[in-house]
Amino acid sequence: MPASSTASAICTAARLRARLLQPERALIPTFGNFALSTATMSPDDWWALDCRHGRALVESCRTGTLLVWDLVTGDKQYLPLPAHDCSGYNGAVLCAAGHTDHRDCHLCPFLVAFVFSDDRDFITSACVFLSETDAWGEITSIVIPDALVLPKPTAQIGNTIYFLLDNNSIIEFVLDKHSLDLVEEVPYTYDQTIIMPTKDGCLGLAGGERFNFNLNLWSEVASIDGVVTWTHLRVIELEKILAPEAVSACMVGGIGAHAVGCAVDADVIFIDVYPSIYMIHLKSMKIEEVSRRNESADNMFFLTQVSTLQVPPIFTVLQSSL
């Protein structure tokens, strides 16, 4: 089977499986002004995987290709998926320049870290695409029994990208060593979980329980002797900060509330409380409704402008139905 056909079939199967687990809506935070043109993109064909350093990584479920989209200039670069069968996959796009100020990353080369799993032998693999060589590099693999990569937000900490698996484990892909390792299981099994970096540069997570409207924030903490453990930071009682009608509507839908993304520099976290997306400012605990789901759309993804200068966010909604 051609790679594009395989990828398209995989995309549909994996996304449908993920949607059964939750009404997934990928959130893309970007920084600064950006150019947005959807004239050449079919609104029912694209799925958002990731966004960092001013670039978005999206995939076409029809052609089996990835698209790296520069949100500042509007430039687009298409790249094929690695020619390997898989049952679940995820990706992350990063600036390859290695500097700490990412406001001008559109002038620099980029890389795409791609991780994928095969449910026949439960081998999880990773490889990197470099824009400078316009090619995928070597593949590194590990065996993780009964676990597949989930299409959920990834976390970058230094030169390491973290991915969430469907058995509540986390794997790390160390870019400079080209190594893929199992980190550990998340500290508590929630109905919905996302991983994210914390402001102090540690691995964190947000876990939601479907019917009690609590959002639990955790962080890894290293002791003096180097032992890393999970610490429960806080519980956000969403029922106390959401409008009563929002809680009622969500309960009627039977979906509950869960985190869908974050903007670490702005110290905000985004939650999906059907049928809306809300932004919570973690310092002030101010909550804002930023978008409402279109009932006719099976999936949405958002292009979000979030600034460290607290510029109000701008949202553009692209509807997608697979």
**Which tokens in the block code for residue 157?**
């900490």
pTM for this entry: 0.81
Residues 245 and 157 in one domain: no
Question: Considering the domain boundaries, does residue 315 fall inside one?
Answer: no
For residue 299, give its domain range: 190-308
pLDDT for residue 314 is more than 50: no
Same domain, 243 and 142: no
Provide the pLDDT confidence category of residue 232 given band limits of 50, 70 and 90. Answer: very high
- pLDDT > 70? residue 29: no
Q: Assess whether 39 and 125 both reside in one domain.
A: yes
Tell whether 181 and 258 lie within a shared domain. Answer: no
Which stretches within the chain are classed as H helix? 3-21, 238-241, 244-253
Q: Of 141, 162, 185, which residue is a domain's last?
A: 185
Cα–chain-centroid distance for residue 60? 16
Determine the average pLDDT of the residues in 262-281.
86
pLDDT at 294: 52
What residues does 171 pair with on adjacent strands? 163, 182
Exposure class string for 239-272: b at 16+ Cβ within 10 A, else e: eeebeeebbebbbeeebbbbbbbbbbebebbbbb
Task: Please state, in angstroms and rounded to a whole number, the distance separating the CA atoms of residues 212 and 210.
Answer: 6
Copy the structure tokens of residue 318.
């692209």
Cβ proximity of 115 and 175 under 8 Å: no
292 plus 205 within the same structural domain: yes
Residue finishing a domain among 138, 160, 185 = 185
Q: 46-80 pLDDT, tens per residue?
A: 788 888 878 889 888 777 789 998 887 888 999 98
Model confidence at 90: pLDDT above 80: yes
The whole-angstrom separation of Cα 5 and Cα 115 is: 19
Q: Which of the pair, 13 or 102, is modelled with greater confidence? A: 102
As a whole number, the mean pLDDT across the chain is 76
> In terms of domains, do 160 and 80 share one?
yes
Number of folded domains that form the chain: 2
Q: Which range has the top average pLDDT, 127-131, 226-230, 288-292, 314-318?
A: 127-131
Domain boundary among 120, 154, 185: 185
What does DSSP assign to residue 55? E
Per-residue pLDDT at 193 exceeds 80: yes
**Does a structural domain hold residue 160?**
yes
